[in-house]
Amino acid sequence: MVQTIQYNEEGLGIFKYPRYITENNNGDMVVSDTSGAVVVTDCAGKFRFAYTGYPQGTALDPLGVSTDALSNILVSDYYTRTIHVIDKDDQNKHCDAVIQMQHDVVDGTCSKKQIFAPALQNYFIVTNFKRCSHLSYGISDCLLINVGNKFIITSTSGETIHHIDGLRSDARSGSHSMNLSREELFFIEKDYNIVKLSKYKEKTKTTFIKYIQETDSAWRPWCLYCSQITDDVLVGMKKLDRIQGKVIRYNNLGEEIQEIQHNEIGSDIYNTPRYITENINGDVVVSDSTGAVVVTDREGRHRFSYKGHPPESKLASLGICTDTLSHILVCDELTHAVQMLDKDGHFLSNLLIKPSGIVSPSCLCYDVNADLLWVGSDVNYSVCLYKYISKQDLLTDENPEYEDKYEE
């Protein structure tokens, strides 16, 4: 025997029942303990910290533990069925994420799919607004940020370029969208007209869909999205005299070509569509006030409604977007995280974004060309930028930060 480690500097026991034990590259001893913590001491046996889950106040039931070549600590959590990734100092800096191991049973065999959440690439704060309830990615690397009854156009470095007033001021809904191929900006005005700017920096505009109060008073446009596949405009509608919603598809001339409202048995599938987007397979994806992500196919048939993970939990869905892998990403006000689903509504992982500056995510947009995810908050008035980094990316020269750290 050369060493015994049992107490902290105050003489209190630091372990209850060590389950798994490993050693980090810096000499730290890392223990997965039944106390609900990962306990770390330095090579001299001095207590450094105990990781008890993220965010603080949540529970952790740690099982297997290991470390990697960058001295990150990985621990299996029985409660969330995820692998937590923290750095050697318990700061969650390396991945800003949870890695989810999802098991798919096909023909009696089990396959594993490892899902890597986005890692933080850059961060900036746009200071000249009081809330951020919706984001759109525009041309020339511009970002459109909904700030109440106006939206501002910034560069991707945070510099304000332009602002447009007269937006519908109802908070927490997607009131604008950009058709990138046509360089057209669509948004819902405070009088519920949907207008179009052919060049979004110009002040001239045309009415795309005119709201006539005398005949259209029962339904009002609440959110919209410009399809990057068909150039159609998808509009989420809200009924005023009852809790009821629908989605109307317009072609680029403003002609109604589709209405989505019911499932196959005639029941309503929406209450109030808050945010709307389109997946690359043509699915229409809606964040609804029911606390669900409602997905229909291109023909308008209801595919599924995702209501949180695990199934008995609840979801307070806000902003949504999809990525190049057909994943659906949705902001959840209850867990203060971005949840990632596959295109069929199966939960994949939580994207833990708090360490990066976002307290409560409210809106999202995705740049398909650069695999960048923008996350905005209407609580701490900030916008964060994330980049998808896969394991293969870490093995290439495209990510010099990790060069020579990994081997095939």
Q: Give percent of the chain with pLDDT exceeding 70.
A: 72
Q: Is residue 108 part of a domain?
A: no
Task: Dump pLDDT digits (tens) for 40-71.
Answer: 999 999 999 999 887 665 778 899 999 988 88
Using the 3D structure, point to which of 54, 79, 94 is the last residue of a domain: 94
Are residues 85 and 207 both part of a single domain? no
pLDDT in tens, 263-319: 999 999 999 999 999 999 999 999 999 999 999 999 999 999 999 988 778 899 999
Last residue of a domain, one of 77, 94, 111: 94
Structure tokens at 105: 């049973």
Q: What is the pLDDT of residue 200?
A: 56
Detail the DSSP E strand segments found in 42-147. 47-51, 62-67, 73-77, 82-86, 98-106, 109-115, 119-124, 134-137, 142-146
Do 384 and 276 have their domain in common? yes
Instruction: Say whether both 279 and 156 belong to one domain.
Output: yes
Query: Percent helix, strand and coil across the chain, each rounded to 5?
Result: 5, 45, 50
Identify the domain containing residue 26 by its residue range.
18-94
- The rounded distance, in Å, linking the Cα atoms of 203 and 364 is 26
Residue 35 maps to a domain: yes
Q: Quick one: pLDDT at residue 20?
A: 97
Q: How many CB atoms lie within 10 A of CB 76?
A: 18
Same domain assignment for residues 50 and 161: no
Looking at the chain, the whole-number percentage of residues with pLDDT higher than 90 is: 36
What CATH number is attached to the domain comprising 167? 2.120.10.30
d(CA 148, CA 398): 39
DSSP notation for 136-169 = EE-STTEEEEE-SSEEEEEETTS-EEEEEE-B--
Same-domain check for residues 219 and 135: yes
Lowest mean pLDDT among 129-133, 173-177, 341-345, 399-403: 399-403
Q: Are residues 90 and 124 in the same domain?
A: no
**61 and 153 housed in the same domain:** no
Mean pLDDT for 347-353 is 75
7 is a domain residue: no
Q: Which of the residue ranges 173-182, 226-235, 295-304 would you say has the lowest mean pLDDT?
A: 173-182
pLDDT of 147 reads: 62
Res. 172: pLDDT tops 90: no
Domain CATH number, residue 53: 2.40.10.500
**Predicted confidence (pLDDT) per residue in 352-388, tens digit:** 555 555 667 888 888 877 778 888 887 766 777 777 6
For 57, left (φ over 0), alpha (ψ -120 to 50), or beta? left
In this structure, are residues 276 and 287 in contact, taking their beta carbons and an 8 Å threshold? yes
Pairing mode, strands 37-41 and 206-209: unpaired
In a domain, 112, yes or no: no
- Lowest-confidence pick of 216-225, 340-349, 386-395: 386-395
Q: What confidence score (pLDDT) does residue 158 get? A: 63
Exposed e or buried b for every residue in 28-66, given b needs 16+ CB within 10 A?
A: bbbbbbebbbbbbbeeeeebebbbbbbeeeeebebeebe
112 — pLDDT class (breaks 50, 70, 90): very low
Pairwise pLDDT comparison (355 vs 178), residue with the higher score: 178
Q: Are residues 264 and 158 in the same domain?
A: yes
Q: Report CA dihedral (342, 364, 119, 179) to the nearest 10 degrees.
A: 90
- Kindly report the average pLDDT of the chain as a whole number: 78
Tokens of 388: 């998808």
Q: Cβ(323)–Cβ(342) under 8 Å?
A: no
Per the model's pLDDT, the better-predicted residue between 98 and 139 turns out to be 139
Q: Which residue has the higher pLDDT, 160 or 23?
A: 23
Q: Considering the domain boundaries, does residue 354 fall inside one? A: yes
Inform me whether the pLDDT recorded for 2 exceeds 70. Answer: yes
Q: Is residue 83 part of a domain?
A: yes
Banded pLDDT at 94 (limits 50, 70, 90): very low
Give the separation between CA 364 and CA 277, rounded to whole angstroms: 11
Q: Which residues, 6+ apart, have CB-to-CB distance to 214 below 8 Å?
A: none
Q: State the average pLDDT over residues 91-98.
A: 40
| One domain for residues 88 and 125 | no
* pLDDT per position as a tens digit, 189-209: 888 889 888 765 556 678 888
Among 44-58, 116-130, 146-160, 343-357, name the most confident range: 44-58
Q: Do 40 and 131 reside in the same domain of the chain? A: no
Distance CA 201, CA 273 (A): 28
**Assigned domain for 347 exists:** yes
Domains identified in the chain, total number:
2
Assess whether 60 and 129 both reside in one domain. Answer: no
Using the 3D structure, point to which of 42, 59, 94 is the last residue of a domain: 94
**124 and 57, same structural domain?**
no
374 occurs within a structural domain: yes
